[in-house]
Structure 1
């Protein structure tokens, strides 16, 4: 038994030949309705013309609705969520009324007129020929005008030869309906596409705006990261270095005090306090350096991604090796935003390998060409990492940061077979235009080695 996914209509469940037949029947039926209502609608022309600012949008909307039902892409002129009555009253003031709705109605009227006369002629001739055996009599003879020849039938038995001719005459009648129906659908599609084009242009503009906004945020984030790193490096870090040096000087001064009974106890307590203060200052300095390195390592800003990753392997929480397969010229083209995101993604991957995967070692492979870079972090841990899990917020955040520079993160982590994270990214973000060397030069002023 074939299961049908939820949300699939009954028509979509049918085979393709059924849908095609349904479309042809819909085209012929809709065109036949136009032709059949041509004469009855003539008395309504006066009110239709007087209220054209209302009837034209209604007629165009009806044509588009039927076209969509048949399968033609004909977007509605009314925006989603817009109320019908205000839209109908204000439609005449919009340019779409004159560019789309009015030409659609006038073109449809011309097609209806042609369809009425052409298909009506062949249809009336065919139907009369088919019904002639049942309608002809001496009292009411039937006369058929076949071009320059007239055929008059007075006896039913003489009319039976007309039946095959009438059946053949249905072919041009239905052919005319089908042809005019296809022309009508093409007209509807052509005069409804501007709305689609406008929507596409609007979406393109929105995407461009979002891209520009993301670029602004990324640039601001990078600038703020650089500012904080410089302030800590040139401010608090230098103050702590000066403090440790001052404490060292105080210790030397304390050691130079006379060694007698009056000062021994005080000097010992003073030296102990100085040593404690210096230990705390050195601990704070080490912590601050780790914080600065966590914000942006100096080696990353000064020497680039490859040396920064090599430096990272020496401080990783597990034994890590690195393989760099790239030319120096290609590595020099990696922009700072890309290098920063990739560096911290690798650092987080190594932390996860040691903390969650319980891996004993890891390997970093960096490949770079003139078009992009690929960084692989592989471990032999227990595996099982899945970004789709509810608690895998770290992997999802990593993937989002990589995507923010136009890259992709691929995770392969079978149970018991280790984890392999592959980061692919362009050398420069999609919005980036600056030379990477220029980025580094802008970051150098005021930054100590």
Structure 2
């Protein structure tokens, strides 16, 4: 509605007549007349056809389709508002996306939405009421003054004063050029005067259209809730995929590497027991190198699995997972003030990876000598703070790690805050509203 308010205030400024607003108003109403006539004719034909065919049941699908005829018209009308307000944001659609694909789900959702019936009501109003009003306003405010303005040209085409005269707009007889000139001046004055009522009607007409076809606050709230649920589903799917990858690596690649390491170890023992000479020494050295490489790869794989989804988090909760992350940190970390109940799995996962990211940044960039983690769950809110005594000056916008964490927390209605003045200290705070898990 802000665009309607700004357009209404523009009507009473001096630049209104000098700009394009009056002609945009006339164009908006003129195209509304053409669209209304088309809708009236098509609606009459399709309704009559459906009424005739309903006797043989063929018209029932057509009648059902007519209930949704307002959808394409409403989409066109929301775009047509840009004729009047070209710099205003386009009116959003009030319709939601179905949870499941397919025409039946889409059709059922549209029939349940109030916006569908408002759009159908607007279609009926346009066909029966609105376009005749638009035509009347355009005829009185534009066509009538223009017919008066062109009176001299009309008189000249009619043969001048000897041709019997003319009746501009069928109003009065004009049989000479002085009267024709006066009529043209009157039409020009009338046009300038009526452009303001024209703009006022067009603005009111657009506001009425936006009121019926733009989403209501409840529909916006429902759309926002749907977006939030969609993001939550994506996070759940992402977590499930992480766990699948972790399980496949743990049960597949890790077990095969363990078997390979054992095989290499047994091969080293066999070579040492049965072979002698320089060739045997070289083979033993190669096997030792391969054994060490396999051990290194196995260690890295175990770290990777722990990073994807640590088993300690699933088995013992966020408190134990934070303590485990602190033990493996490059900087000494105090976790004496971490005491948490079991929380919902998405919350524990988000809190853990926030701590992991914070400790990684401390070890790589802060120059800190120590860090401290405090965590508590009070009043239905999880709060985790990670402090360090480093150089400060951390900027979340300079890296994607903290940005990704902030997006992940936003799905849970959580918040990530980083306080890091130059010279330190740096404090990363995580807040997530959540209940404690009921065992």
1:397 Cα deviation from its structure 2 partner: 2.6
Q: Distance in 2 between matches of 1:381 and 1:248?
A: 45
Correspondence list, 1:7-406, <5 A: 79=78, 81-82=80-81, 94-96=120-122, 195=212, 198-257=215-274, 263-326=276-339, 331-332=341-342, 334-369=343-378, 371-388=380-397, 391-406=398-413
Correspondence list, 1:402-441, <5 A: 402-427=409-434
Larger Rg: 1
Residues 271 and 238 of structure 1, relative CA distance in 2, 3 Å threshold? same
Residues 84 and 275 of structure 1, relative CA distance in 2, 3 Å threshold? closer
The secondary structure found in structure 2 opposite 1:356 is: helix
Task: State the aligned residue count.
Answer: 273
Residues 99 and 323 of structure 1, relative CA distance in 2, 3 Å threshold? farther
1:207 Cα deviation from its structure 2 partner: 1.3
Residues 81 and 291 of structure 1, relative CA distance in 2, 3 Å threshold? farther
1:359 Cα deviation from its structure 2 partner: 0.8
Q: Is the 8 A contact 1:371 1:427 kept in 2?
A: yes
Q: Is the 8 A contact 1:325 1:368 kept in 2?
A: no
1:412 Cα deviation from its structure 2 partner: 1.0
Describe the superposition over 1:296-336 as per-residue Cα deviations: whole angstroms up to 9, x where unpaired: 11111221111011011110121111134545xxx21x122
Describe the superposition over 1:167-192 as per-residue Cα deviations: whole angstroms up to 9, x where unpaired: xxxxxxxxxxxxxxxxxxxx99x988
Residues 428 and 368 of structure 1, relative CA distance in 2, 3 Å threshold? closer
Structure 1, gaps ≥5 residues long = 1-8, 13-21, 23-50, 55-76, 86-91, 105-186, 430-434, 438-449
Give 1 or 2: higher helix fraction: 2
Q: Distance in 1 between matches of 2:413 and 2:331?
A: 30
Q: Is the 8 A contact 2:243 2:309 kept in 1?
A: yes
| TM-score, L = length of structure 1 | 0.52
Residues 248 and 325 of structure 1, relative CA distance in 2, 3 Å threshold? closer
Query: For the aligned residues, what is the CA RMSD?
Result: 4.2
Q: Is the 8 A contact 2:357 2:402 kept in 1?
A: no
Q: Is the 8 A contact 1:338 1:428 kept in 2?
A: no
Q: Distance in 2 between matches of 1:436 and 1:397?
A: 29
Q: Is the 8 A contact 1:385 1:413 kept in 2?
A: yes
Aligned match of 1:17: none
1:239 Cα deviation from its structure 2 partner: 0.8
Q: Is the 8 A contact 2:319 2:339 kept in 1?
A: no
| TM-score, L = length of structure 2 | 0.53
1:353 Cα deviation from its structure 2 partner: 1.5
1:93 Cα deviation from its structure 2 partner: 8.7
